[in-house]
Amino acid sequence: MQTLDPITQTVEPRDLGSVTDLLTEDRIGPRDGTGKTVVVAMSGGVDSAVTALVMRERGYNVVGMNLRLFDPEDEDHRANPCCGIPAMDDARKTCATIGVPFYAINMELEFGANVIRKFVDEYAAGRTPNPCLECNRHVKFRHLVQRARLLGADCLATGHYARIEYGQDGTPHKLYRARDDRQDQSYVLYTLNQDQLGYIQFPLGNLTKPEVRRLAHAFGLPVADKPESQEICFVGNRSYADFVSEHRPDVTIPGDIVTNDGTVVGHHKGLVHHTVGQRRGIGIQAPKPYFVLQLDTTQNQLVVGAREDAEARGLQIDTVSLTSGDWPADPFECEVVVRYRGTPYPGRVQLGSADDHTAMVSITTESGPIASPGQAVVFYRHNQVLGGGTISAVERRVAKV
């Protein structure tokens, strides 16, 4: 039976000995929270629940905060389990279990304008957006940091799997991949600036997912066995194409499938059903498989070609940000990643002016990534995140998109 601490009336671990190896400072961070307050972003999942638990164990006064981002249309919210009332209730139950206050904030308008609308518009324009990254950039961290500071909190903590090395004596804070490569989320965090990095904590960065669940079980958290959300929250169990076409019926107009030289080799049922780099589901019989090279929205044509034709040799980037806050004039070498937990490719980055936040990226290996306008490209040096931006154009071996 779970017991309550007689003074704090908060739940104590069922078997502390089973998780003492996970509660050391090298795993969860220093026990430096005495007299300090932290706001923890509570989504209703196990990661944010354990984040709140860990910060409490480090001595912080924890305040749980849930952002209501999207109101699912299905009444029981089964299509979108990470949003809506059930998720908020799970976050509230967790806070009650560990004995910390809980607040819910409605951010549906900001989320709709900065994430959902952009997702629809980008897909309709033949680009490949990343809504989780845009949510982090325009909604979560901007508003959570602001509200945490208004509450007088000393820091903000979230359940993201990433690591921050805090600078000393004026040296910059640095963002790194998580210890658990399978859970690493640094790709969607490259927009964090120095002010945010100095204020945010990622206490799960040195833990694996099974270890997080071990902690949740040991402390009897109500979401210990809650499954991870596998879909974009506002799309749910529908396809991206179905979601976008509900908002933009024009994207389902049929058209031709053509090769680079303009030869018609088939017909598509709407560009929204395809993405750059796609191989399966194009619907063409050919000796060698075709890959999607381009979604030509002006001609309503799907351009296809060989695998090598789809590989990027260079990338034009806009909305570039660097985590250090610096803007070097000289080119720099790094590893380039264009997909969430994607394969790194050696590259060279030449920044444009600091005013327009652009860059050119050259892939310095024979083969390159399959990339699409609208995707995020993130610059790494080993495990450190240097920054990144949004792909505006792709230079390929044959075609330019």
Q: What is the DSSP string of 176-228?
A: EE-S-TTT--GGGGTT--HHHHHHEE-TTTT--HHHHHHHHHHTT-TTTTPPP
Q: How confident is the model at residue 215 (pLDDT cuts 50, 70, 90)?
A: very high
Mean pLDDT, residues 243-272: 90
* 31 and 148 housed in the same domain: yes
Instruction: Count CA within 13 A, CB hemisphere, residue 273.
Output: 17
pLDDT tens per residue, range 274-312: 988 888 889 888 888 899 999 999 999 999 998 888 899
**Quick one: 207 and 74 in the same domain?**
yes
pLDDT > 90 in the chain, percent: 63
Residue 230 has what pLDDT? 62
Residue 269 lies in domain: 253-308
Domain end call among 284, 308, 332: 308
Q: What is the CATH number of the domain that holds 282?
A: 2.30.30.280
Please give the Cα distance from 21 to 355 (Å, whole number). Answer: 48
* Residue 124 within any structural domain of the chain: yes
Is residue 29 domain-shared with residue 95, that is, in the same domain? Answer: yes
Does 301 share its domain with 366? no
* Whole-prediction pTM: 0.90
* Rounded Cα–Cα distance for residues 326 and 219 (Å): 43
Indicate whether 268 pLDDT > 80: yes
Task: Examine the domain organization and report whether 259 and 152 are in the same domain.
Answer: no
Domain count, the chain: 3
- Evaluate if residue 37 carries a pLDDT over 90: yes
In this predicted structure, what is the pLDDT of residue 390?
Answer: 96
60 and 209, same domain (yes or no)? yes
The pair phi, psi for residue 243, each rounded to 5°, is -65, -50
**96 and 78 in one domain?**
yes
* pLDDT given at position 299: 94
pLDDT bucket at 80, cuts 50 / 70 / 90: low
Q: Is 31 contained in some domain?
A: yes
Q: Provide the 8-state DSSP code for 354.
A: T
Structural domain includes residue 265:
yes
Question: Is 81's pLDDT higher than 90?
Answer: no
Angle among Cα 331, 337, 191 to the nearest 5 degrees reads: 75
Asked whether residue 214 is domain-assigned, the answer is yes
pLDDT (tens digit per residue) in 361-379: 999 998 899 999 999 999 9
| Cβ count near 278 (within 10 Å) | 19
C-alpha–C-alpha distance, residues 60 and 155, integer Å: 10
Residues 68 and 145 placed together within one structural domain of the fold: yes
Same domain, 134 and 42: yes
Is a pLDDT exceeding 80 seen at residue 95?
A: yes
For residue 5, being part of any structural domain is answered with no
What's the chain's average pLDDT?
Answer: 89
Structure token digits, residue 120? 């629809």
131 assigned to some structural domain: yes
Taking 70 as the threshold, does the pLDDT of residue 348 lie above it? yes
Which of 290, 308, 326 marks a domain boundary? Answer: 308
pLDDT at 148: 95
Tell me: pLDDT of 358 over 80.
yes
Instruction: Output 239 or 362, whichever has higher pLDDT.
Output: 362
Q: What's residue 112's pLDDT?
A: 87
**CATH number for the domain that contains residue 329:** 2.40.30.10
Boundary residue ending a domain (277, 308, 339): 308
Who wins on pLDDT, 237 or 219?
219
In a domain, residue 172? The reply is no
Confidence band of 85 (pLDDT split at 50, 70, 90): confident
Q: Let me know if residue 189 belongs to a domain.
A: no
Residues 110 and 213 in one domain: yes
- Domain match, 262 and 336 both: no
Active site residues: 135, 233
Position 86 pLDDT exceeds 90: no
Average pLDDT in the 257-276 region?
91
- 20 with 135, same domain: the answer is yes
Examine the pLDDT at 19 and tell me if it is beyond 50.
yes
Phi, psi of 377 (to 5 degrees): -120, 130
